[in-house]
Amino acid sequence: MSLSRRSFSATLAGAAAPALKAQQPSSRKIGYCIIGLGRISMNEFMPGVEKSEHCRITGLVSGHPEKAQKMAAKYGVPATSIYSYEDFDRKMASNPEIDAVYVALPNSMHAEYTVRSAGAGKHVLCEKPMATSVAEAQQMIAACKSAGKKLMIAYRCQLEPNTLKAQQAARSGQIGRVELIDSSFGFTIAPGEWRLNKKLAGGGPLMDVGIYCLQACRIMSGEDPVEVDARWNVLDHDGRFAEVEENLVWSMRFPSGLLTTCNTSYGTNTGGWFRVYGSKGMIEMQPAFSYDGLKLQINGKEQTVEDHNPMQFAREADHFAECIRQDKAPKTAGEEGQTDLRIMEAIYRSCREQGPVKLA
Ligand code: NAD
């Protein structure tokens, strides 16, 4: 969803209201308002907040009053802090119990709800992909900046202990020089999902799960690609893929010369994994992107750190709370999400043009 210049400036004007200054968090727990009561928020993030050290749920935004009331009762949210999509920002602005929002809506709604939340004087933790275009990402970053609010993209893997151990091994020479990385993430999608609607999703599996492979390559190498080459297809003509790709494969070239290959799919379950091949060994995470049961091998030895759902979400909520309290930049700020979008836009362009695309 692209925001009109008018609504964007109106929202920013709201952010400057002096009354909002009274809402700075103290040493109490950071209060999150959950925007969108779907699978990720109800099944993962909210249980994560419950397990967190520094956070609690203090508001809900939903279009389904019954569901919202049920969740409010479960998490002790007062009925007065249940809001509708239409006016949540206006009403939430004067609620001092809400420090931050968690945006868990279809991808094309992330920009609007981030900008409106920042305008209401709240920090924003936004689900991946950050938005459906670089232009939207820029608007989100600008809105949070002018409101003086923090923006974090919910890249839970960047705080996850196995991923961090793999990253340390890749970057410290434990497997020698990193020669190649490959990664895959795909699942068989059911018909009727908003993920198959281009307007809501922005794209197909690349935007949804391929982004984890892209992140794995960037996290393990510590570099951003300078060139991509990609192809896509639709093999199942059963109506699901009228708007988005079914399968997509792509390669990336990095400044050091490193080459990586990735694939993503809505037609098959690939498990979700990555491998970093070095001149003296290999790092393998499989599964690498699930909420639980991750497995790490370095140079053929089991190195898995035990970590169970919903700890990835508890950690994410706590990290953002710490950034808010200590006025620190989040590890995965808006710029991180924007970089992924820039690369994914180049990958889609490569698919359309059937040739390599250079990234400046
Ligand atoms: P979902 O379909 O389960 O939930 C979407 C929510 O948005 C629902 O509450 C729905 O009612 C609401 N909504 C409001 N307007 C809507 C509309 N026009 N169409 C459809 N739904 C609408 O989706 P989800 O799986 O929870 O995904 C939500 C976001 O979270 C997506 O951006 C997704 O990429 C992200 N996500 C992240 C992870 C992760 O591990 N970080 C995992 C899953 C999803």
Lowest mean pLDDT of 15-24, 230-239, 265-274, name the range: 15-24
User: CA 43, 207, 227 angle in degrees (round to 5)?
Assistant: 145
Alpha-carbon separation of residue 296 from 144, 218, 261, 302 (angstroms)? 36, 18, 20, 6
User: CA 137, 322, 80 angle in degrees (round to 5)?
Assistant: 75
Q: Is there a catalytic annotation at residue 212?
A: yes
Give all domains of the chain, ordered by start, each with its CATH number. Answer: 10-156+314-329 (3.40.50.720), 161-306+341-358 (3.30.360.10)
Tens of pLDDT, residue by residue over 286-330, are 999 999 999 999 999 999 999 999 999 999 999 999 999 999 999
- Chain centroid to Cα 344, Å, comes to 14
> Exactly one of 32, 102, 212, 266 is catalytic; which is it?
212
If one residue of 105, 110, 290, 292 were mutated to test the ligand 1 pocket, choosing by the most ligand atoms within 8 A of its CB, it would be 105
SS3 call for 229: strand
Helix 134-147 crosses helix 334-353 at what angle (to 10 degrees)?
A: 170
Tokens at residue 317, please? 């909520």
Can you tell me which residue has the tokens 């190649």? 180
Outline where 76-133 has alpha helix (H). Answer: 88-92, 110-119
Q: Is there a catalytic annotation at residue 128?
A: yes
Query: What is the reported pTM?
Result: 0.94
> How much distance in Å is there from the Cα of 104 to the middle of ligand 1?
5
Rounded Cα distance, 70 and 315, in Å: 25
If one residue of 39, 103, 266 were mutated to test the ligand 1 pocket, choosing by the most ligand atoms within 8 A of its CB, it would be 39
List, chain by chain if needed, residues with CB within 6 Å of any ligand 1 atom.
36-40, 63, 104-107, 127-128, 154, 156, 194, 200, 208
Atom of ligand 1 minimally distant from the CA of 155 = 41
> Exactly one of 29, 128, 149, 150 is catalytic; which is it?
128
> How much distance in Å is there from the Cα of 128 to the middle of ligand 1?
10
- What are the DSSP E strand ranges found in 120-188? 123-126, 151-153, 178-186
Residues 6+ apart with CB under 8 A from 327: none
Can you tell me which residue has the tokens 């923090």? 150
Give percent helix, percent strand, percent coil of the chain, each to the nearest 5.
Answer: 40, 20, 35
Per-residue confidence band for 26, with pLDDT thresholds at 50, 70 and 90 = low
Residue 182 has pLDDT above 90, yes or no: yes
> How much distance in Å is there from the Cα of 279 to the middle of ligand 1?
41
pLDDT, the chain, mean: 94
Work out the average pLDDT over 260-270. 98
User: Highest mean pLDDT: which of 10-14, 144-148, 356-360?
Assistant: 144-148
Rounded Cα distance, 262 and 209, in Å: 11
Integer-rounded Cα radius of gyration of the chain: 20
